[in-house]
């Protein structure tokens, strides 16, 4: 199958979606079948216990096919132009022969549970490209703007042969470390004179950035963008970089005018060459795998708490007692662990 070719979807009865086995899902993903890939992502995003078990088995089968893509996280405040910049950058990369997957994470309302999921409309050109795959996913309230199953989705699109994966995040500030812990390169997009001046941006997000790009630096904004870039370079000079081998650059770009994006990608490639050469990329990915395991363990333990018969009825009462100040949270935790039969095996904190 040639690069970018789309395999035919499995046949199904009219009005029904085929139920595929793990082997059929894996084969369809490797064959770059979009319909099967989308079905597999829906499977890993499901909270149904049976679906989760099947998703875990699928990921185990596909693990040898993952890990070969460049993983780039892109964040920035609302209105910074992330989608426009990614749309243009993606088109440039496809023209250069790459296959690109964009995992566009939308904020979920904690009150209603709804999300916008509008990135396919904001990335109009990419959404029509055969060598691009855009998957909008709700955060479901996850801190850091990362969907609950973003890592698993990343593994699936890598197995489908996409050699560049971009995770576009909400840009919520302090918790962006969640993004940096799953990508090879973390890019922060900022605006000049749009509330993102040095006094308004959090130190933490600057410390974890591998590069800062001042977007919309065209027309009358060009001079302001250059001044803002100089300020951020000064700020980065007094911070300790996350790697002794890489000093995060500050660029000015325009996603709308396609200006500076070639330089931006060249610096990302330079970072990859350096980190691959000194072994830091492999070490980073190993640590990310452990972080992934720990996060999943936390999810599974919480799910076990919710599903345990001994806690199903008691847990709401415990939470109510904590909320009303009748029960200290530490005592509540001990009761939950005791009902899980874990208290005796849990080391004291």
Cα atoms in the 13 Å half-sphere on the side-chain side of 106: 17
Which CATH fold would you assign to the domain 285-345? Helix Hairpins (1.10.287)
pLDDT of residue 220: 87
Q: Mean per-residue pLDDT for 40-48?
A: 89
Cα atoms in the 13 Å half-sphere on the side-chain side of 68: 16
User: Could you tell me which residue, 118 or 321, shows the higher pLDDT?
Assistant: 321
Question: Of all helices (H) and strands (E), which one includes residue 52?
Answer: helix 49-62
User: Could you tell me which residue, 205 or 327, shows the higher pLDDT?
Assistant: 327
Cα atoms in the 13 Å half-sphere on the side-chain side of 221: 18
Q: Which of 96, 143, 101 is nearest to 262 (CA)?
A: 96
Residues ≥6 apart with Cβ < 8 Å to 52: 44, 46
pLDDT of residue 17: 59
In contact, 205 and 144? CB cutoff 8 Å: no
The predicted-structure confidence for 156-193, as pLDDT tens digits, reads as follows 999 999 999 999 886 655 457 777 889 999 999 998 87
Which DSSP state fits 100? E
User: Could you tell me which residue, 180 or 199, shows the higher pLDDT?
Assistant: 180
Question: Of all helices (H) and strands (E), which one includes residue 164?
Answer: strand 164-168
Q: Mean per-residue pLDDT for 252-264?
A: 96
Q: Mean per-residue pLDDT for 280-297?
A: 91
Query: 109-118, 138-147, 190-199, 229-238: which has the highest mean pLDDT?
Result: 229-238
> Residue 31, exposed/middle/buried by CB under 10 A (0-12, 13-18, 19+)?
middle
Residues of the chain with CATH 3.40.50.300: 66-277
Rounded Cα–Cα distance for residues 121 and 144 (Å): 23
What's phi and psi for 92, nearest 5 deg? -60, -45
- 1-65: CATH architecture: Up-down Bundle (1.20)
Quote the mean pLDDT of the chain. Answer: 83
pLDDT bin (cut points 50, 70, 90) of residue 142 is: low
Which ranges constitute the DSSP H helices of 160-279?
Answer: 177-180, 203-207, 222-237, 261-277
Sort strands 100-106 and 70-76 into parallel, antiparallel or unpaired.
unpaired
Rounded Cα–Cα distance for residues 36 and 51 (Å): 15
**CB atoms inside a 10 Å sphere around CB 240:** 8
Torsional sign, CA 189, 261, 216, 130: negative
pLDDT of residue 119: 54
Residues of the chain with CATH 1.10.287: 285-345
Cα atoms in the 13 Å half-sphere on the side-chain side of 313: 2
pLDDT bin (cut points 50, 70, 90) of residue 120 is: low
> SS3 for 304?
helix
Looking at the predicted structure, is the pLDDT value of residue 339 above 90?
no
Which DSSP state fits 134? E
pLDDT of residue 42: 92
pLDDT of residue 163: 97
Range 66-277 classified under CATH 3.30.565.10: no
Residues of the chain with CATH 1.20.5.170: 1-65
Q: Can you read off the two tokens belonging to residue 87?
A: 């749309």
The predicted-structure confidence for 52-89, as pLDDT tens digits, reads as follows 899 999 999 999 999 999 999 998 877 889 989 999 99
Looking at the predicted structure, is the pLDDT value of residue 2 above 50?
no
Rounded Cα–Cα distance for residues 142 and 179 (Å): 11
User: Could you tell me which residue, 278 or 104, shows the higher pLDDT?
Assistant: 278
Of 186-200, 202-216, 287-301, where does mean pLDDT reach its minimum?
186-200
């Amino acid at each position: 199958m040639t690069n970018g070719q789309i395999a035919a979807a499995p046949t199904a009865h009219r009005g029904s979606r085929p139920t595929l086995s793990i082997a059929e899902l894996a084969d369809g993903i490797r064959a770059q079948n979009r319909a099967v890939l989308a079905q597999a992502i829906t499977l890993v995003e499901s909270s149904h216990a049976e679906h989760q078990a099947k998703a875990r088995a699928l990921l185990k089968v596909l693990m040898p096919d993952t890990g070969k893509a460049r993983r780039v996280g892109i964040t920035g405040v609302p209105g910074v132009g992330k989608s426009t910049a990614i749309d243009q950058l993606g088109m440039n990369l496809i023209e250069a022969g790459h296959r690109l997957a964009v995992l566009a994470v939308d904020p979920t309302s904690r009150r209603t549970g709804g999300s916008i999921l509008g990135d396919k409309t904001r990335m109009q050109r990419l959404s029509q490209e055969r060598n691009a795959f855009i998957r909008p996913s709700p955060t479901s309230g996850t801190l850091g703007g990362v969907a609950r199953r973003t890592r698993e989705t990343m593994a699936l699109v890598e197995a489908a042969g996409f050699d560049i994966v971009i995770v576009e995040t909400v840009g919520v500030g302090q918790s962006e470390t969640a993004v940096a812990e799953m990508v090879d390169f973390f890019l922060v997009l900022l605006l000049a004179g749009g509330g993102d001046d040095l006094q308004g941006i959090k130190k933490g997000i600057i410390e974890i950035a591998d590069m800062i790009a001042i977007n919309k630096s065209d027309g009358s904004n060009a001079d302001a963008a250059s001044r803002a870039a100089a300020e951020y370079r000064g700020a980065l000079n007094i911070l300790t970089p996350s790697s002794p081998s890489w000093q995060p650059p500050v660029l000015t770009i325009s996603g709308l005018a396609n200006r500076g994006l070639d330089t931006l990608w060249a610096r990302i490639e330079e970072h990859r060459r350096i980190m691959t050469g000194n072994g830091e990329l492999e070490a980073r990915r190993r640590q990310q795998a452990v972080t992934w395991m720990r996060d999943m363990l936390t999810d599974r333990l919480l799910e076990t708490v919710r599903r345990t018969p001994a806690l199903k009825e008691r847990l709401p009462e415990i939470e109510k007692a904590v909320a009303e100040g009748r029960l200290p949270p530490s005592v509540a935790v001990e009761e939950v662990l005791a009902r899980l039969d874990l208290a005796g095996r849990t080391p004291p904190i």
